[in-house]
Structure 1
Amino acid sequence: MNKNEHFEERLKKLCINTSKSITSTQFPNVINLNVGGYLFTTSLSTLTKYEESMLAVMFSGRHEIVKDENERYFIDRDGKFFRHILNFCRSNDLPPEDAALDVLKEAEFFCMSSLIEKLEAAAPKVISLRRREYFRQLIPDYEQIKNNIIQKATEKKTCFEESKVVITQSDHPKLKGQIPCYNCTREFVSVNHTCAFEGLPSDLAISLKTVEIDIDKLIAFTVDELSHDGFKVAVTKVICKFSLRCQGCTLSGLYTAGGILAPRECTNVAHVIRFHW
């Protein structure tokens, strides 16, 4: 769908007649509006100030706009935040921070790129939203990862006030295979263990498909998102630290000289997300 078709589709949703047979519409200099039940009065020049916007297209004279019973031009949108759209058209005023995200939604609908750019540069909530959107683009399966974490936390929810979800990275190095003793080269130990973190096994093993994001950033972002969604969460980073002793050195009385296969400790890392209910 090209830009013109996109505009026409939205104009139809706003009860705007886009028929090509319509003759040019002459609008008065002062426009009375009914936006979803909210009443506004503004000038034609204000509505057409930004030529790239849908408002400018609507009141260009090329389309017929329906009127309500009081002869006000009717726009079928929730008008609660429309005054901020008008104030920007009038004097480039930005909305208060608590309304920024709602105004962004309206600005995107009305294709007001100038307002969108200013919100993206100056409104903290919009900047945070764009950051989250960018992060999601880097990790295509992010929503699935987040939903899996929530599902695991819910499944483990009991009568206690806290549930833990242990998350590991599937390709993180761990202690495994045939390991030689540093002190006793004749001894090899076969290692095959299940990593445990604070006594708990991994609930989710995540495979990262991009080098731009590491597991620490992913978990930090996810915890921030969960908090934003209303969950009470905290996270700690835990190392497995499973270790081995060389049986040959231990039996030979060389335990203190290197009976542990140092530094033969498992370095697999987990992030433990705690949900407080």
Structure 2
Amino acid sequence: MAVNVEGEMTEESQGFPNIIELNVGGRHFSTTHLTLTKHQDTMLGTMFSGKFPCIHDKDGRYFIDADGESFEHILRYLRLNELPPVSLMEKVYKDAVYFGLNDLIHELELQPSIMAKLMRDKFYSRLDGFPGALNEILHQAGNPEIMHKSYPSTTVVVSALESEHKPKSEEFDVNHVCVCAKSTKEADVKLKPWNQFAEVGAEEYVRALKSNLEERGFVVVYHHIGNCSYSCTLPPQGRSSSHRKQNCATLFFALVFHWTKM
């Protein structure tokens, strides 16, 4: 029986039975209509408000296209305000966002694992072109020809400007090909000379790429392998009769993927 505003028991609530049978991603749950509509401003509250048609499976259960394992903990939170185990917090957090469970989202965002991930994601979002750079690196790392020659590890060479580079002379060729002085090799992936490098630093950017790759499960190390070999001789300045040089500010890093340590 459901309870109406006067505190009386009714057979159904807004057209729904008091006991709701659910099929969530293939897992079956039984709960009350009151539990599902505990927070009206959520996806569940809207689904079971009676304002929209619901989908049923072949056995008549209300069907929700979501992860059943996560939903078990979402249901426990709705019933008991109980948070999921630490090992599942990130997974449940994603579904809490999906269902619009703002109270659960807020509580999970105060947990160390979720807070750390949010801070990392916020930092990554400050790095222009970060997703594209990751995809280029993974494309190079997974190149069958490279892997065939270098297995059990693959090295991807990345180049980046430390800061915005302004030539001091017309003699400086801004269109020169950057080649690492120590290896006479061009970069496999060239990061653009974004202004943010003045704030973040090229090496910090590459470390962020490495950290993200590790979060995905890759075993990868990196190191600075040198600077671009190009330089330009500048004319004497003032009373000085000696010539000066301007070096290219491009740095080269190696990201080494180890496939046998996965």
TM-score normalised by structure 2 residue count: 0.68
1:209 CA drift (Å): 2.9
1:196 CA drift (Å): 2.6
Partner of 1:237: 224
What are structure 1's unaligned runs of at least 5 residues?
1-23, 179-191, 245-260
Q: Does 1:205 align with 2:193?
A: no
Cα distance between partner residues in 1 of 2:255 and 2:214 = 12
Q: How many residues align?
A: 226
Partner of 2:236: none
SS at match of 1:230: coil
Q: Does 1:162 align with 2:153?
A: yes
Structure with max Cα Rg = 1
Give the 3 Å change call, closer, same or farther, for CA 26–270 of structure 1 in structure 2: same
Amino acid at match of 2:155: K
Partner of 1:144: 132
Larger mean CA deviation between 235-244 and 30-39 belongs to 235-244
Give the 3 Å change call, closer, same or farther, for CA 263–238 of structure 1 in structure 2: farther
Q: Deviations over 1:244-275 (max 9, x none)?
A: 9xxxxxxxxxxxxxxxx999987753222122
SS at match of 1:62: coil
Q: Does 1:226 align with 2:181?
A: no
* Contact 2:43 2:99 (C-alpha < 8 Å) held by counterparts: yes
Give the 3 Å change call, closer, same or farther, for CA 37–214 of structure 1 in structure 2: same
1:122 CA drift (Å): 0.9
Give the 3 Å change call, closer, same or farther, for CA 28–272 of structure 1 in structure 2: same
Give the 3 Å change call, closer, same or farther, for CA 72–219 of structure 1 in structure 2: same
Cα distance between partner residues in 1 of 2:227 and 2:53 = 69
Cα distance between partner residues in 1 of 2:185 and 2:58 = 67
Matches within 5 A, 1:1-277: 25-68=14-57, 72-122=61-111, 124=113, 126-153=114-141, 154=143, 156-157=146-147, 158-170=149-161, 195-203=179-187, 204-211=189-196, 212-240=199-227, 269-277=251-259
Give the 3 Å change call, closer, same or farther, for CA 228–32 of structure 1 in structure 2: same
Amino acid at match of 1:274: V
* Contact 2:222 2:254 (C-alpha < 8 Å) held by counterparts: yes
Give the 3 Å change call, closer, same or farther, for CA 208–172 of structure 1 in structure 2: closer
Give the 3 Å change call, closer, same or farther, for CA 26–210 of structure 1 in structure 2: farther
Q: Deviations over 1:3-44 (max 9, x none)?
A: xxxxxxxxxxxxxxxxxxxxx833344333232332222233
* Contact 1:195 1:268 (C-alpha < 8 Å) held by counterparts: no
Q: Deviations over 1:57-77 (max 9, x none)?
A: 222233443555655433343
State the superposition RMSD in angstroms: 3.7
* Contact 2:162 2:251 (C-alpha < 8 Å) held by counterparts: no
Amino acid at match of 2:43: M
Cα distance between partner residues in 2 of 1:64 and 1:106 = 22
1:195 CA drift (Å): 4.7
* Contact 1:166 1:200 (C-alpha < 8 Å) held by counterparts: no
TM-score normalised by structure 1 residue count: 0.65
Amino acid at match of 2:24: V
Q: Percent identity?
A: 29
Give the 3 Å change call, closer, same or farther, for CA 62–40 of structure 1 in structure 2: same
